[in-house]
Amino acid sequence: MTSENLKIISLDVKDVRFPTSLGAHGSDAMHKDPDYSCAYVVLKTAKGTEGHGLTFTCGRGTEIVVAAIKSLSELVVGQTAIDIFKDFGVFWRSLTSETQLRWLGPEKGVMHLATAAIINALWDLWGKLLNKPLWRLLADLDPEHIVSCIDFRYISDVITKEEAIEILKQGQKGKEERIEKLMKEGYPAYTTQVGWMGYSQEVIIELCQKYLDMGFTAFKVKVGQNLKDDIKRLKTVRNVIGWDNKLMVDANQVWDVKQAIEWMKQLAEFKLLWIEEPTSPDDILGHAKIAKELKPLGIGVATGEMCCNRVMFKQFLQADAMQYCQIDSARIGGVNEILSVYLMAHKLGVKVCPHAGGVGLCEMVQHLQMWDYVALSGTMEDRVIEYVDQQHEHFVNPVVVENACYKVPKRAGYSTTFTPETIPKYEYPNGTEWQLMFSQGLFPDPCKHQS
């Protein structure tokens, strides 16, 4: 491969939305009607290889992320992929610290979602160029190369490059045996499918039984809108899944700190492993207080799916404010920054249990967690990947979950390529499915709305 062949000649971005609000799929205490969506990036090299990456959104506002990606594209187009991958941390900083655009963040909000989509597309491209699935590409990189992908600015008080290299060198021991085990058994998953806020009792019972029959032993339920209702739903779930299986709850940021503590005391009888996002995702000390109060009840605090960046993660980890670190593959600045969170969590002894669901999050995050098992933490103990059975049919290489375990992805890249039908059907607002739904009156047509 010549470097001329590997020049990135174009960056295209699409606003892709799925009408999930019609079935209350994905509904929780804060997001009552999400239409699972994404900003989808396609990078193309001169030789024709493409990298596909995305960031997840809940519908309205995706066009803003698309605009941010367009603003960043001139920093990517014209670059040579091989040069980017040689010193990926330097390139990552060139996106996040662009001298004018950084004012819109820095390293948070829409700009960082846009960064994640582009960075994820680059990792997909790297995997495809080397013909390796991402987890394997990461596992095969030597510790120095992994560390060169990370921007250590703002985190070197907790972990230095040298320490990270040493940790990753330790992670090499027994790697081949772990790859073998992973290939055979896959990686354990838990399901959130049973507990969306908008589901009826009948649907909950039916889904609990379905996922039990599929071999699941860990379940998560949305809470936080109405205490009586939460108690009723948790009773229903425990009745079906029994008391030996794990049960977690998720409030999606709906409570104040004191309210979270009081509410959770009322739910403690249901033997809950964690409360996820009890309050504002930015409130580190609030989470620490909740964690301290709930510890005697055996309930841990889980958060991270909306944590802005490695600096926030650093503080959550330092403050004992999260017992379960929920990295999100479509957030913070993509794979590079997520690697730094894995390393800090490892050093500070916090388990990573990734957030997934949405659009493509399961597809992506399986690679990261598998790399963690193979080359970093070396264990799957008390760790699980979230699994939501939605939107997989739109991907060329969807996740495969069998016996409640993610099977190892074998195809090259980051599993983020849409099928050829997906974009013509679901691009918003001109895709054929959207046009049909507008004509049926299921959604307002934004073009007519404006006129």
E-state strands within 31-183: 37-45, 50-57
- CB-nearer residue toward Mg ion: 224 or 409: 224
| Selected range binding Mg ion among 12-20, 107-115, 171-179, 246-254, rule: CB under 5 A | 246-254
> 98, 107, 250, 283: which one contacts Mg ion (CB under 5 A)?
250
Provide the annotated active-site residues.
222, 355
| Selected range binding Mg ion among 1-9, 245-253, 287-295, 436-444, rule: CB under 5 A | 245-253
Here's the x/- map for Mg ion, 189-228, by CB under 5 A: it reads as ----------------------------------------
Amino acid found at 72: L
| Selected range binding Mg ion among 40-48, 80-88, 270-278, 404-412, rule: CB under 5 A | 270-278
Give the span between the Cα atoms of 258 and 152, in whole angstroms: 35
Here's the x/- map for Mg ion, 352-391, by CB under 5 A: it reads as ----------------------------------------
The token duo for 127 is 């995997």
Which residue is listed with tokens 């354990």? 188
Sheet with 50-57: list strands edge to edge: 8-17, 37-45, 50-57
Least separation in angstroms between CB 277 and Mg ion: 6
Exposure class string for 381-394: b at 16+ Cβ within 10 A, else e: eebbbbbbbbbbeb
Query: Would you tell me the crossing angle of helices 334-347 and 88-96 to the nearest 10 degrees?
Result: 110
Three-class SS state of 262: helix
- CB-nearer residue toward Mg ion: 29 or 370: 29
Least separation in angstroms between CB 306 and Mg ion: 9
Least separation in angstroms between CB 196 and Mg ion: 11
Sites for Mg ion among residues 15-44 (CB under 5 A)? none
Amino acid found at 47: K
Give the span between the Cα atoms of 159 and 307, in whole angstroms: 19
| Selected range binding Mg ion among 164-172, 243-251, 374-382, 436-444, rule: CB under 5 A | 243-251
| Selected range binding Mg ion among 55-63, 273-281, 286-294, 408-416, rule: CB under 5 A | 273-281
Least separation in angstroms between CB 249 and Mg ion: 10
Give the span between the Cα atoms of 273 and 277, in whole angstroms: 13
Q: How many residues bind Mg ion (CB under 5 A)?
A: 2
Give the span between the Cα atoms of 204 and 250, in whole angstroms: 16
- CB-nearer residue toward Mg ion: 344 or 388: 388
Least separation in angstroms between CB 95 and Mg ion: 27
Q: Report the phi/psi class of residue 68: left, alpha or beta, with left for phi > 0 and alpha for psi in -120 to 50.
A: alpha
DSSP letter string, 273-311:
SEEE--S-TT-HHHHHHHHHHHGGGT-EEEE-TT--SHH
The token duo for 71 is 């603003």
**Residues 36, 37, 38: CA angle, nearest 5 degrees:** 145
- CB-nearer residue toward Mg ion: 35 or 328: 328
- CB-nearer residue toward Mg ion: 35 or 276: 276
Least separation in angstroms between CB 222 and Mg ion: 8
Secondary structure letter of residue 419 according to DSSP: P
- CB-nearer residue toward Mg ion: 276 or 372: 276
283: contact with Mg ion by CB under 5 A: no
Q: Which residue is nearest to Mg ion (CB)?
A: 250
- CB-nearer residue toward Mg ion: 88 or 324: 324
Exposure class string for 296-320: b at 16+ Cβ within 10 A, else e: ebebbbbbbbbbbbbbbbbbbbeee
Read off φ and ψ for residue 182, nearest 5 degrees: -60, -45
Least separation in angstroms between CB 142 and Mg ion: 35
Binding site for Mg ion (CB under 5 A): 250, 276
